[in-house]
Amino acid sequence: MAEKEVKDFAARAAAFLGDDTIADEVVAAQNATKTARSLARERAKRGLSQKEVASRMGVSQSKVCRMEDALDADLSYGDIESYAHALGLNVSLFYDAVTASRETRAANFANAIADMIDKLRSLLPEDSRYNDAIDRFSGGVLFPIVRG
């Protein structure tokens, strides 16, 4: 669920109980398992069982099961990377400087998007009809944000 959908879901749960405080708790619990659950979803998309992923990772099925049920905070980066590789995926990291100013954070996001766009461009044909639009977006949106 997108952030807003989770908040709406939590608000409906709170309205049913007549207890506003539960909404924030549901949102927090949801946010605490985003990465772990995304592993299970990616596995399912590829039609793989936990057993098959475990075999590719060289670990037990119960380890895979524990990873998918874990809190994100309890997952190691190595385990996430190993799981992703078993699915044929690469993991990319993004550091969000949450204590930085809004401008700095916006610039960081714009830089990360620019990196993604470079990767996207490398996957498109040279004469792609999207090239002009990508250039306009990069020049008109990302570059000014990065420059500040």
Partner 1 sequence: MWIESYEYADANRMKHYAKKHRREYVSCLANLADVITALNNGAAVTAIPFGFFRSEHEDVYRIGQTNVKHQHETRLYVYACVVRTTVYILTVGDKSTQQADINACHAKARALKRQLGNEAQAEKENENG
**Cα–Cα distance for residue pair 36/66, rounded to 1 Å:** 9
Residue 25 or 115: the one with the smaller Cβ distance to partner 1 is 25
Check residue 75 for interaction with partner 1 (CB under 8 A): no
Check residue 80 for interaction with partner 1 (CB under 8 A): no
Binds partner 1 by CB under 8 A, chosen from 41, 102, 129, 147:
41
Is the C-alpha dihedral spanning 61, 88, 42, 118 positive or negative? positive
Check residue 68 for interaction with partner 1 (CB under 8 A): yes
Binds partner 1 by CB under 8 A, chosen from 3, 4, 11, 19:
19
Nearest to 53, CA basis, from 42, 38, 64, 66: 64
Check residue 145 for interaction with partner 1 (CB under 8 A): no
**Cα–Cα distance for residue pair 148/146, rounded to 1 Å:** 5
Binds partner 1 by CB under 8 A, chosen from 3, 20, 71, 96:
71
| Phi (first) and psi of residue 32, to 5 degrees | -75, -10
Check residue 37 for interaction with partner 1 (CB under 8 A): yes
Which residues have a Cβ under 8 Å from the Cβ of 103 and sit 6 or more positions away? 148
Is residue 68 within 8 A of residue 40, CB to CB? The reply is: yes
Binds partner 1 by CB under 8 A, chosen from 3, 69, 103, 135:
69
Q: How far apart are the first and last CA of the chain?
A: 32
Q: Which stretch binds partner 1 (CB under 8 A): 22-30, 78-86, 109-117, 121-129?
A: 22-30
Contact residues for partner 1, defined by CB under 8 A: 1, 6, 9-10, 12-13, 16-19, 22, 25-26, 29-30, 32-33, 37, 40-41, 43-44, 65, 68-71
